[in-house]
Amino acid sequence: MTYPDPEVFGHDPWWLIVVKALAVFVFLLLTVLVAILVERKVLGRMQMRYGPNRVGPFGLLQSLADGVKLALKEGLTPAGVDKPIYLMAPVIAVIPAVMAFAVIPMGPTVSVFGHTTALQLTDLAVAVLYVLAVTSVGVYGIVLAGWASGSTYPLLGGLRSSAQVVSYEIAMALSFVAVFLYAGTMSTSGIVAAQAHTWFVVLLLPSFLVYVTAMVGETNRAPFDLPEAEGELVGGFHTEYSSLKFAMFMLAEYVNMTTVSALATTMFLGGWRAPWPISMIDGANSGWWPLIWFVAKVWGFLFLYMWLRATLPRLRYDQFMALGWKLLMPVSLAWIVTVAVTHTLRADGAPPWVTAVIYIAFLALVVAALSVWKALRRKRFRDTAPPPAPPEPGGFPVPPLPGQLRSKEKTHA
């Protein structure tokens, strides 16, 4: 099999660089169109209905029809908006989402019209940090959209999105530290090469679970879609947007979903490598075949997004922030210390069973801490919950209103 040599990048002819950039852009656009249709179909089946089935055979042209409809709708600009920023916000949301895919390896080195090139636009020594930085810039589009709309609910949605990114970007970055320790590099192609024998999802399962949770919060998807909570904020940060400007926010959301799914594939699932037992076939990890394995893994994560949306209700905002700050970050920090210790012990020649014992002790400690925290939380709720108010004559029991004193407190007062 052929690994992309770091020296390969930067030496392609200009026309090949343009072709690869266009291929990445077209891949993302097609993925978005298909993902919107598949999500509506999957949600329909999970909710015992058909989903789109009118436009085209089996409803396959529904995404295209929706795009044409949005393009032909009148683009309204409400009075009182900060017009330059209001118009720039959708663009700021889309461009970083597309740029982040530039360092994602989609396959090994192949031959294109006689030129040897990697199925990757480019690579950097700090490629993963580049992805984190670029995706963090995308939140400015949402924040500016909420602020420039000149309305209260979009502003609240934009502020929620910025708080989500601050919380879950930290947990996401911490989940990568263990990968860097094992791979010895921050280059995405180097991380894929380090998983030649064992995928990091097996060696670093807690990091994988933290990342999967953080990537759902990072992309503002259900059950963490609080910036666009219809029941509280009308439509969230894009309430005042219509036509193509609204479509660009939807494009940015689905491109971000694809990017973080591709990053999860690269960091934990071996990247473009074939899964076992397909990997035992000669040639499964060479040529253009790895592109199929890569796309299949990315779609596995996209299906997970759809499954979560159909299954879980939206969290309260305090629950969502507590999950990030009180659970994901402490677990990530403890896991980094555990991985660093075991990695050092293995480098010093310690037997594998020592690593296994330390990992089991870490998992047992996390489970015990969660059990104690849950028990204390339940006890505190039981001690502080006011008793139900006695029913009025001819009425029904009514729970006490916020600030209402208990009967004993009224007596002492």
Mean pLDDT across 100-114: 89
pLDDT for 402: 61
**90 domain residue, yes or no:** yes
In whole angstroms, what is the distance from residue 14 CA to residue 56 CA? 39
**Residue 381 clears pLDDT 80, i.e. is over it:** no
Q: Is 409 contained in some domain?
A: no
Count other C-beta atoms under 10 Å from residue 293's C-beta.
Answer: 23
Stretch 257-268: mean pLDDT: 95
Average pLDDT over residues 369-384: 79
Q: DSSP label at 10?
A: T
Q: Which domain holds residue 85?
A: 8-274+289-379
Number of neighbouring beta carbons within 10 Å of residue 174: 20
What number is the average pLDDT over the span 76-98?
89
Phi–psi pair at 132, nearest 5 degrees? -65, -40
Burial 212-236 (b: 16+ CB within 10 A, else e): bbbbbbbbbbbbbbbbbbeeebbbb
Residue bearing the bigger pLDDT, 10 or 81: 81
pLDDT at 117: 86
Contact 373, 361 (CB under 8 A): no
pTM score: 0.86
Burial of 92 (0-12, 13-18, 19+ CB in 10 A): buried
Sign of CA dihedral 245, 246, 251, 252: positive
Query: How confident is the prediction for the chain on average, in pLDDT?
Result: 86
What contacts 254, CB < 8 A, 6 or more positions away?
31, 32, 35, 36
- Residue 1 counted as domain residue: no
Which pLDDT tens digit goes with each residue over 176-233?
A: 999 999 898 999 999 999 998 889 998 899 999 999 999 998 888 888 888 777 777 7
Check residues 189 and 162 and name the one with the higher pLDDT.
189
Burial of 184 (0-12, 13-18, 19+ CB in 10 A): exposed
CA distances from 59 to 27, 69, 307 (A): 21, 15, 20
DSSP category for residue 54: S
Average pLDDT for 336-346: 87
Distance CA 226, CA 347 (A): 44
Q: What is the pLDDT of residue 111?
A: 85
Mean pLDDT of 263-285: 90
Please, are residues 131 and 262 in contact by the beta-carbon 8 Å criterion? Answer: no
Report which listed range, 110-114, 173-177, 317-321, is most confident: 173-177
* Average of per-residue pLDDT across 71-85: 86
Q: What is the pLDDT of residue 398?
A: 65
Q: Is residue 93 part of a domain?
A: yes
Residue at 328 is within a domain? yes
Highest mean pLDDT among 211-215, 370-374, 380-384: 211-215
Mean pLDDT across the stretch 230-237? 76
Cα–Cα dist 308/262, whole Å = 18
For residue 79, is it within any domain?
A: yes
pLDDT the model gives residue 90? 92
Q: Is a pLDDT exceeding 70 seen at residue 403?
A: no
Of 8 and 82, more confident: 82
- Determine the pLDDT at residue 6: 59
Phi/psi region, residue 58 (left: phi>0; alpha: psi -120 to 50; beta: rest), is: left
Q: Decide if 174 contacts 329 (C-beta within 8 A).
A: yes
pLDDT at 168: 86
How many domains is the chain built from?
Answer: 1
Helix (H, G, I), strand (E, B) or coil at 396: coil
- With a cut of 50, say whether residue 1 has pLDDT above it: no
Residue 397 covered by a domain: no
Q: What is the reported pLDDT for 351?
A: 84
40: confidence class by pLDDT, cuts 50, 70, 90: very high
Cis amide bond preceding 402, omega within 30 = no
Write down the H helix ranges in 61-113: 62-72, 83-99
Whole-number pLDDT of residue 177: 93
Residue 2 belongs to some domain of the structure: no
- The Cα–Cα gap between 339 and 369 comes to 19
Residue 154 pLDDT more than 50? yes
Q: How far apart are CA 23 and CA 110, in angstroms?
A: 15
Q: Say what the pLDDT of residue 31 is.
A: 95
Residue 246 clears pLDDT 70, i.e. is over it: yes
40 φψ region: left (φ > 0), alpha (ψ -120 to 50), beta (else):
alpha
